[in-house]
Structure 1
Amino acid sequence: MRSDTETSGVGVPADVPAPADSEKIPAHVWRTAAVVVFGAVMGMLDTSLVNIGLRTIGSDLGASLATIQWVASGYLLALGVSLTVCGWLARRVGVTRLWLWALVAFTVTSAVCAFAPTAGWLIGLRILQGLAAGLMIPAGQTILGQAAGPQRMGRVMGVVGIAVVGAPAIGPTIGGVMLAHWNWKWLFLINIPFGLAGMALGLRYLPRSTGAAVQRLDVIGLVLAGGGVSAIVFGLSEIGTTGSVTSLSVWLPVVLGLAGLTGFLVRARRTARPLLDIRLFGNRAFAAATGAGFFAGGAMFGVMVLLPLYFQVLHGSGLIRTGVDLLGYGLGGIIMLPLGGRLTDRFGGGRVAVIGNLCIAAAVLPFAFLPVDANGILIQFLLFAAGMATGVGAMPLVSAAYAAVRHDQLPDATAFVNILQRVGGAVGVALVAVILSRATAFGWATVSGYHLAFGGLAVLSMVASAASTVLRSHQRQA
């Protein structure tokens, strides 16, 4: 017997080709997608730029590296908290209004960050910026999902995916040029024109939505879920700083975070209206898509962190040169994402993700055997291939997850998808950090550590492909 989410109008299986009258996407949906991309680009590009400039910012503000790292860590912690409350706020004030408010907050805090007088002020402002980003990204995806409908989800989400893959790829180049010619303040000021354009276009083109009377905010659920997600992401990110999984700053936050999430799940099962509707995971297609997305996110974020290190450490490239070297990866993703979206709508996210993640593994695995003096043309070919594979690896899973739920369930669905992607990404980055640090501890050559790290990410992509077969199976049975 099917659940209500599987028999609803938006639960049409993605393996079934769309009817002829839904093949063409209306112009207003593309306008909505173009507006939402402003927010996605800001969020992804900002993270890349600020991480590149941490040392410069710390030197200018007279802060130690341990202190200035909280500019990045505070942002991540705040992001985890606001992701868990995004669904409740979207129902309370309306998803378009929430996106606009979050965009305004992100833009204003970006401007104020540029003039922070001390590291303490900057950390506090980055926490506010992280809260805004955690609302803006899933709210934008909810707007797109509701505008597109399930049978157009792949093509429309492919547009947003361009920001996810393209922004981190060009971030090192932009950040390197800025730091070479201007001061670090411009790493934040660059968000202002994007924000102003997004606000103007959003007020003109985004569909109007109104809030509704909803249950009171479950504060205890927010503390358990938001605190749990933030603690896990922080603990995993500390592996990159300490180089050890046994450090107190690593295992204690992870244990506390898991305890918090366990408490949230117990409370959500006993509460009539929980902060996030965990009954969504009773929808097998949604559960399979988000589960596979966890592993795909780990591989994707792990590759995005490892590739810059590969060029900077093994090849001795500077920031600008590294950014240029990574352009092929971003270009491959940008070219392939629209096609990946069309394939998703036609053949189903599960089938496309199975092949896409296998292709990612096939493109990444050769890096586990390349010598330091490998031919540059070969490296660029592999990077381009990895970028193209990424375009048909992760986003089909996101599209399938959103297409599997009802229109009114999208706010909670986008929150769950982003939470699992972020945690999965933290796992992927932690995997890279552990492998590289262990290789150093064992006295292996530096290149051996990178070989193992690329191999580990290839395996993670294979796991994502295997998990995607479960989604494909559910879509075929639907």
Structure 2
Amino acid sequence: MTSQAPPTGPAYPEKIDGAVLKIAGVVVLGAIMSILDITVVSVALPTFQDVFDATYATVAWTMTAYTLALATVIPLTGWAADRFGTKRLYLAALFLFTAGSVLCAIATSVEMLIAFRVLQGLGGGMLMPLGMTILTRAAGPDRIGRLMAVLGIPMLLGPITGPILGGWLIDIASWHWIFLINLPIGIAALVYSLRVLPKDEPSTTEPFDFLGMLLLSPGLALFLFGVSSIAEGGEGASFGPRVWISGTLGVLLIITFVLHALRAEKPLIDLRLFKNRRLTIATVSMFVFVIAFMGAGLLFPSYFLQVRGETTLMAGLLIAPQGLGAMVTMPIAGILADKVPIGRTVPVALLVMASGFFVFTQVGADTSYLVLCSALFVMGLGMGGTMMPIMTSALKSLTNSEVARGSTLVNIVQQIGGSIGTAVLAVVLTNQLTSTPSGPVEPLEFMADGFGATFTVAFVLILLALIPVAFLPRKKERSHLLDDEDGATATPVMMH
């Protein structure tokens, strides 16, 4: 049942109680499964080529199809959470993801594997936005920073532990186990969710924006399909018909959706939330940051594999200091996000991250591992104080009824930014490695120079993120209230 928070005191207690921590555990389990499966498959692509006798471009769709499914289902999550209730939808998403994982493990052809990865992605795409919605409602706006820090751990460690776990499972067992490992985790998450997640009442009168769905979901899928196809040729950037036709159609559908959403009474994604200045600034900051962060995340293991000749497992271990650095600062950043305006902390964290990243712009074929691992650790320190506080700032500005749609909006921004960043840096790296050397140079040094130039592009993107970050709030605001357009009245947070 919905009731209004008392105006004389906070709607939630100051300390995080055990019930909220149990809910956070459920969300983290779901986040771990969803995020790990984005990266764990990357190390299995050569194995898929051998097992299914397929080209690299074909098996790469085992990753692309999963990403496209995520982008397609995320816009539906906000409406579905209101219509069916977050608990029911979360349980359905867990079941769909787990079932998709088992089907992937028993696939007998690459086409079957790609199809089952789509099914898996449809479940995985709902887990993160639903998890953020559940956490925000359980913790309340004044404690969300600390709990979002908990959720942020799998978000930052996924790209690190995924390759390590994937390489280890393939070495000691077979490729099937990178999917089968989700079965016991999924069953545990389902049982845990049934016992811990609170019941919530669905909104039976909430209309569904069918036109918005027909515009936005295919638009996002076509746009990301085009972007992800740019570097597929292997000989530099390839802007063939598949890229520009699908990309153009995707952009046109997205633009049409924007025009529709601004006029519709109940749009699939409520773009009118961008009237909230705090949400807009946080979302733009997140978008620019994720382009650099997600794009560069794939470069680090590639450098150790291609230039330094390390095994997949060792490459994963070498980038582990990044995750360790994030684990140090993320809990601190979560506490600070509830106490100190993030406009005073995030710029500092972003500069720390940039200082560590600068080392990789100067990377060579024999750069000391001690130097590189130290730089990754410093980068992790900065990342731990950047991503989740920005996301927290966005969600804390919303009322309870807006949280589901707001978290969906933030997740779409993350997904699009990550896909663009990965595609752009892949194109830059491919062009660098396939270009003609200007003079006599050792092959490994030439490759290292190519990685260094690509890291420089990512470094510039990180610096560009400082521009929107500079506009983040620098004064303490009442996070449990949302001002209207005139800044004169406020809407109390609603709680179940």
TM-score range, shorter chain: over 0.9
Measured against aligned partners, the alpha-carbon deviations of 1:24-47 in whole angstroms (never above 9, x if no partner) come to 212211111111100000011111
Contact 2:220 2:250 in 1 (8 A): yes
Partner Cα distance (1:44, 1:466) in 2: 28
2:287 pairs with 1:294: yes
Q: Deviations over 1:72-109 (max 9, x none)?
A: 12111111110010011001100111111100110111
Give the letter aligned to residue 284 of structure 1.
R
Asked if structure 2 preserves the Cα contact closer than 8 Å seen for 1:76 and 1:234, the reply is no
Structure 2 distance, partners of 1:134, 1:37, is 14
Contact 1:74–1:123 (CA<8 Å) still a contact in 2?
yes
- The answer to whether residue 425 in structure 2 is matched with residue 432 in structure 1 is yes
**CA deviation after TM superposition for structure 1 residue 475, in Å:** 6.7
Q: How far apart are the structure 1 equivalents of 2:266 and 2:83?
A: 14
Matches within 5 A, 1:81-96: 81-96=72-87
Residue 148 of structure 2 corresponds to residue 157 of structure 1: yes
Is the CA contact (8 Å cut-off) linking 2:44 and 2:170 kept in structure 1? Answer: yes
Which moved further from structure 2: 69-78 or 242-251?
Answer: 242-251
Deviations 1:204-228 (Å, cap 9, x if unpaired)? 1111112121343222211211112
SS in 1 for 2:42: helix
TM-score by length of 1: 0.92
SS at match of 1:239: coil
1:1-400 to structure 2, matched below 5 A, reads 22-242=13-233, 243-244=236-237, 246-400=239-393
1:21 and 1:199 map into 2 onto residues whose CA distance is 27
TM-superposed CA distance for 1:129, in Å, is 0.9
Structure 2, gaps ≥5 residues long: 438-445, 478-482, 488-496
In 2, distance between residues paired with 1:451 and 1:327? 20
Deviation at 1:21, TM superposition (A): 8.0
- The structure with the largest alpha-carbon Rg is 2
3-state SS of paired residue (1:53): helix
Match of 2:464 in 1: 463
What do you get for the CA RMSD once the two structures are aligned?
2.1
Q: 1:409 Cα shift?
A: 0.6
Greater RCO (Cα-Cα under 8 Å, separation 6 or more): 1
For 2:231, what is the secondary structure of its paired residue? helix
What is the CA–CA distance in structure 1 between the aligned matches of 2:474 and 2:317, rounded to whole Å? 41
Q: For residues 152-207 of structure 1, what are the alpha-carbon distances to aligned partners after superposition, in whole Å with 9 as ceiling and x for unaligned?
A: 11110010110011122111111111111211100100111111111111111111
What are structure 1's unaligned runs of at least 5 residues? 1-7, 11-17
Match of 1:416, as an amino acid?
L
Asked if 2 retains the 8 angstrom alpha-carbon contact of 1:173 and 1:320, the reply is yes
Task: Answer with 282-291 or 60-69: which moved more.
Answer: 60-69
Q: Please tell me whether the aligned partners of residues 12 and 140 of structure 2 are also in contact (alpha carbons under 8 angstroms).
A: no
Distance 1:378 1:254, change over 3 A: same
| Cα contact 2:82–2:206 (8 A) shared by 1 | no
Q: Distance in 2 between matches of 1:234 and 1:352?
A: 36
Shift of 1:438: 2.2
Structure 2 length as normaliser, TM-score?
Answer: 0.89
Q: Residues 310 and 450 of structure 1 are in contact (CA less than 8 Å); yes or no, is this contact kept in structure 2? A: yes
Structure 1 residues 269, 456: closer, same or farther in 2, change over 3 A?
Answer: same
Q: How far off its partner does 1:19 sit?
A: 7.7
SS at match of 1:212: coil
Query: C-alpha offsets along residues 347-386 of structure 1, whole Å, 9 cap, x if unaligned?
Result: 1233322222222111101111132212211111111111
Measured in 1, the distance between the counterparts of 2:12 and 2:213 equals: 42
State the aligned residue count.
464
Going from structure 1 to structure 2, the CA distance change for 1:457 and 1:30 (only over 3 Å counts) comes to same
Once the 2 structures are TM-superposed, how far is the Cα of residue 443 of structure 1 from its aligned partner?
2.0
Q: Give the corresponding residue for 1:453.
A: 454
| Mapped partners of 2:335, 2:242: distance in 1 | 44
Percent of aligned pairs with the same residue?
34
